Amino acid sequence: MPIRLGENNYGKSRVRLLRVVRQEGRHDIKELTIAIRFEGDFETAHSKGENRKILPTDTMKNTVYVLARQYPVEAVEEFCLHLVDHFLTYNPQVSHVRIEASENLWARLPHGSKPHPYTFTRSGPEKRTAALEATREHTLIRAGIEDLLVLKTNKSAFEGFLRDPYTTLKDDGSRIMATAIRAHWLYDGGEIEFSPQWHGVRQMLLETFAEHDSRSLQHTLYAMGETVLNNFDAVREIHLSLPNKHFNLVDLSPFGMDNPAEVFLPTDEPHGLIEATLRRD
């Protein structure tokens, strides 16, 4: 029976990089983790063990560092575009390149009344992300956010849901809503100022989460995505993934005390997960 090679790819994962830009009296930093994937004419490498079309993954790693020296890495999307252009230019056997990047976000340490010029701190696990898929004909660019932690104690309810014999959850007209926002959005081509767009989308997601009168996490997810699409013409679609971080009211009645929604137990597992993609018609 004949055997045919199906979809295949190879590349380098978790290439880590800290880029320091040194200016007089001020330093700037970017910390990135990069993943690279190639698709293309690699059938003989699999079927015959011929490596003449295989660019070593160690070379991919080295390319990241060389290009980081050549470019300032001001926006992660722009740096990924440099990588894509390099790999497609010098590797005719490659038909499709995928680059995924995540950026650890560092902020300047407050120092008196001013930010410190060369000392930084991280306030949480939030990451800025980018994912590029490119051929010689077109490029798709996605930007995103991971692990943006948010919580609010008002304008959140969950009532009137479906019940069956195993349902024990009670209606709650005023609950704590908390999640770790994971979002990525697809740009609609053209000239894009990546960093202003990213900061604008991030702020819009936060403001909508805060002000939306939520009937469920699905309800708020839709409002967040809708607001971004209505305010950013360069965004074609947005995908949101929102885990429902639960805070359970502690029963203080065994101690003769009431608990008017003031003392809660945070729980990590299990948790609900709500995901959806919103697109322009």
Q: pLDDT tens digits for 194-250? A: 999 999 999 999 999 999 999 999 999 999 999 999 999 999 999 999 999 999 999
CATH of the domain at 24: 3.10.270.10
Same domain? For 156 and 264 the reply is: yes
> 137, 158, 190: which is the final residue of a domain?
137
pLDDT at 268 over 90: no
Q: Which residues are catalytic?
A: 12, 57, 246
Mention every residue, 6+ apart, whose C-beta is less than 8 A from residue 221: 240, 242, 274, 276
- Phi and psi at 226, nearest 5°, equal -60, -45
Q: What is the pLDDT of residue 136?
A: 96
pLDDT > 70 fraction of the chain, expressed in percent and rounded: 100
pLDDT at 133 over 80: yes
Q: Which domain holds residue 259?
A: 147-281
Domain tally, the chain:
2
pTM for this model (two decimals): 0.92
Same domain? For 266 and 160 the reply is: yes
CA dist 137 and 132 (Å) reads 14
Q: Give the containing element (helix H, strand E) for 192.
A: none
**What is the maximal distance between C-alpha atoms in the chain?**
77
Instruction: Please say whether the beta carbons of 231 and 239 come within 8 A.
Output: no
Residue listed under structure tokens 């104690």: 153
DSSP 8-state assignment for residue 75: S
Instruction: Report in angstroms the alpha-carbon separations of 4 from 43, 92, 93, 111, 253.
Output: 9, 22, 19, 63, 68
Give a yes or no: residue 142 inside a domain.
Answer: no
- Phi and psi at 150, nearest 5°, equal -140, 150
Label residue 44 exposed, middle or buried (CB < 10 Å: 0-12, 13-18, 19+). middle
Beta bridge partners of 141: 132
Same domain? For 174 and 46 the reply is: no
Give a yes or no: residue 165 inside a domain.
Answer: yes
Report helix, strand or coil for 88: helix
Residue listed under structure tokens 């609900």: 272
Same domain? For 132 and 151 the reply is: no
**Count of H helices and E strands in the chain?**
5, 10
pLDDT at 73 over 80: no
Strand order across the beta sheet in which 26-40 lies: 10-23, 26-40, 94-104, 127-134, 139-152, 177-187, 235-249, 264-279
Q: What is the pLDDT of residue 112?
A: 87
CA dist 97 and 79 (Å) reads 14
pLDDT band at 271 (very low <50, low <70, confident <90, very high): very high
